[in-house]
Homo-oligomer: A and B are copies of this chain.
Amino acid sequence: MKLPCLLLVAAQFSRVFGLWPQPRSLQTGSSALKLAPTFNILVNVGHAPSDLENAVSRTKTFLRSDNLGRLVVGRGASDSAAVQHAKSLDTLELSLAHGAAVKSITDEARLPIGTRSEEYTLHVPADGSSATITANSTLGLLRGLTTFEQLWYEYGGQVYTVEAPISITDSPAYPYRGFMLDTSRNFFPVSDIKRTLNAMSWVKMSEFHWHVSDSQSFPLEVPGYTDLASKGAYAPSMIYSPSDVQDIVAYAGARGIDVMIEIDTPGHTAIISAAHPEHVACAEASPWTTFANEPPAGQLRLASAATTNFTAGLLASVARMFPSAIMSTGGDELNTECYVQDPETQADLKATGRSLEQALDVFTQKTHAAIRAEGKTPAVWEEMVLDHNVTLGNDTIVLVWISSANAAAVAAKNFRLVHGPSDYFYLDCGAGEWIGDDVANSWCDPFKTWQKSYTFDPLANISESQAHLVLGGEQLLWTEQSGPENLDSIVWPRAASSAEVFWSGPGGNLSTALPRLHDLAFRMRQRGVKAIQLQPMWCALRPGKCNLDS
């Protein structure tokens, strides 16, 4: 009498939907297993760093508070009989591999990109004996804990899985798995950034690319350059103080996330004129369409020695605020006409006998030297290698944004690159033109769905010999039409697409990904991140039924 019942149960259970990103290697069984009321996590790490202890506490909290019912009709009702008689799991043990040095999660997460250890193994036996996570670093243990949290569902007060035993060996396909936030077009309080870092950590992202300033506002209080924010922020309450920055980078680090700050130069700097008009050409020049891609116009006087020194000093001071080994100096969308019509720049070029391109080369070398002196490797937007002829260190990281088609050209120049192409990863596309008296579509229409992002191929048109140059990628939110009001809803769960592409590798199946992505979105909502509904709940509860062929 037992066998038919068991078979029925197995057929209903299907598979673990909750894992995102999908582990590189996963074996699951079909036994029910529940967390014991006394369930605990043991940290078998001598002198365990406090950020690891805190990560364990968070996991224990999530296991208790996620309260996520399985996404099937009836939620967990059909599991309850099996769960009632299931074995109980008392303990999860965390261990570092033999000989691994004990370092904090934070320290590991801030190592140069490509040298961080994130791999882990996870075993959940079916018989109730201890589950284990083993890794070569505390960061790897954190990644394992994050996976462990996604194994469990709740029904009738029981926290359980129906797929024990579970065995996972996991490591990221690419080290750079990022999200970029623009805090200049509109401002985001620290609490919004922290909530975003939470969600990023749940999908094992590794880099927060913080585009902190732009032409519209300068919300960062920089020691020695405080007038940039006091005169260039939208309001005194819309400034990130040095202690805010410390708070954010510590919060990120503890969650396995490095913070790459970007001070975009020499373009996208109009607002610097509020404090230092002497350093900005064509500030608020009209019509802005002649001098910039969006209002207001204004660029640093790159040919001026004084402006170059000012910028180098600013960048160095910002560099000292951030512990990361990388920092972006921007370099996108330089407008030539702005400099052609700027008498000061023309005089500077004439005095030095340089062309604008030569002046840009000098400017870039000096500003990069300034951040290298602070121990940072520079990152730049793609134009700096594709459209200009500036001298860049071989180790410079290039951020591809204009088109996915441009990555191959960057790789061909032998630069390391991060994918952030507007045609796949721009989260702001598709909301229409924001220029006031225009009824056009957004320039990067249409909206980039999770499906579109999910189909991205990091190695498209990149030769095997250049594949090592691809560090990973990021989804990006430019905030002309965003603020705290729609931050979560515009980012999540869509940004999880690239997190899986760059962790699990590309080529994932949309149909099998969707139920897992629903699961992730539901779990995010349970945790206070307002991830949107991707489909009617009818579909979320019936995997596959809302596919084209069903």
Q: What residues of chain A have their CB less than 8 Å away from a CB belonging to chain B?
A: 75, 184-187, 215-217, 234-235, 271, 284, 286-289, 294-296, 430-439, 441-442, 445-449, 451-452, 455, 479-486, 488-490, 510-511, 514, 525, 530-539, 541, 544-550
Q: Are A452 and B432 in contact (CB under 8 A)?
A: yes
- Nearest-Cβ distance from residue A548 to partner chain B, whole angstroms: 5
For this complex, 7 residue pairs linking A to B, each with C-beta atoms less than 8 Å apart, are A216-B539, A295-B550, A435-B548, A436-B514, A439-B452, A446-B446, A485-B489
- A544 CB contacts on chain B under 8 angstroms: 436
Q: Which residues of B are found within 8 Å of A550, using beta-carbon distances?
A: 286-288, 295
Question: Residue on B with the closest CB to A284?
Answer: B545
The answer to whether A537 and B432 have CB atoms under 8 Å apart is no
Q: Are B435 and A537 in contact (CB under 8 A)?
A: no
Nearest residue (CB) in B for A480 is B536
Nearest B residue (CB) for A238: B537
In-complex Cβ contact of A295 among B217, B295, B546 (8 A): B546
Known: A433-B451, A452-B432. A483 touches B548 (CB 8 A): no
Q: How many copies of the polypeptide does the oligomer hold?
A: 2
Query: What are the residues of chain B within 8 A of A434 when measuring CB–CB?
Result: 534-535, 546
Q: A539 to B436, Cβ gap below 8 A? A: yes
- Contact residues in B for A234 (Cβ distance below 8 Å): 537-538, 541
* B296 & A534 in contact (Cβ 8 Å cutoff): no
Interface-centre pick from A184, A234, A489, A530 (highest chain B CB count, 10 A)? A489
Query: Chain B's nearest CB lies how many Å from the CB of A73?
Result: 10
Distance from A541 Cβ to chain B, minimum over Cβ atoms (Å): 8
Q: Is the CB of A549 within 8 A of B437?
A: yes
Which one of A287, A289, A483, A534 has the greatest number of beta carbons of chain B within 10 Å? A483
Interchain residue pairs A-B with the least CB separation, the first 8: A432-B449, A216-B538, A486-B489, A485-B530, A185-B536, A483-B533, A436-B514, A216-B536
- B217 engages A486 (CB within 8 Å): no
Inter-chain pairs besides A186-B537, A439-B452, 13 sampled, C-beta below 8 Å = A216-B538, A217-B537, A234-B537, A234-B541, A295-B538, A432-B446, A434-B546, A438-B547, A439-B449, A441-B446, A485-B489, A485-B530, A485-B533
Given A451-B432, A510-B437, A186 and B536 touching (CB < 8 A)? yes
Determine whether the beta carbon of B446 is less than 8 Å from that of A535. Answer: no
How far apart are the CA atoms of A451 and B539 in the complex, in Å?
Answer: 33
Let me know if A535 and B481 touch, CB within 8 A.
yes
With A437-B511, A544-B436, A547-B435 as contacts: A486 and B530 at CB distance below 8 Å: yes
Chain B residue numbers with a CB within 8 Å of A435 are 546-548
Distance in Å: Cβ of A233 to nearest Cβ of chain B: 10
A235 to B69, CA, bound (A): 11
A199: min CB distance to chain B, Å:
13
What's the Cα separation between A514 and B271 when bound, in Å?
Answer: 23
Q: How far is the CA of A170 from the CA of B488 in the complex (A)?
A: 39
**Smallest CB separation, A518 vs chain B (Å):** 9
**Residues of chain B within 8 A of A484, CB atoms compared:** 530
Q: Which residues of B contact A445 (CB under 8 A)?
A: 445-446
- List of B residues within 8 angstroms of A430 by Cβ: 430-432, 446-447
Q: How far, in angstroms, from A254 to B352 measured CA to CA in the complex? A: 73
B447 and A295 form a contact (CB under 8 A):
no
CA–CA, A284 and B544, complex, Å? 13
How distant is A218 from chain B, measured CB to nearest CB, in Å?
A: 11
CA distance in complex: A445, B483 (Å): 23
Residues of the B chain whose Cβ atoms lie less than 8 Å from the Cβ of A184: 536
Q: Is the CB of B480 within 8 A of A438?
A: no
Inside 8 A of A510's CB, which chain B residues have their CB? 436-437, 439
A435, A479, A531 pick with most chain B CB within 10 angstroms: A435
Residues of B within 8 A of A485 (CB): 488-489, 525, 530-533
CB distance from A485 to the nearest CB of B (A): 4
Shortest CB distance A144–B (Å): 29
Residues of chain B within 8 A of A486, CB atoms compared = 486, 489, 530, 532-533
How many Å lie between the Cα of A172 and that of B44 in the bound state? 72
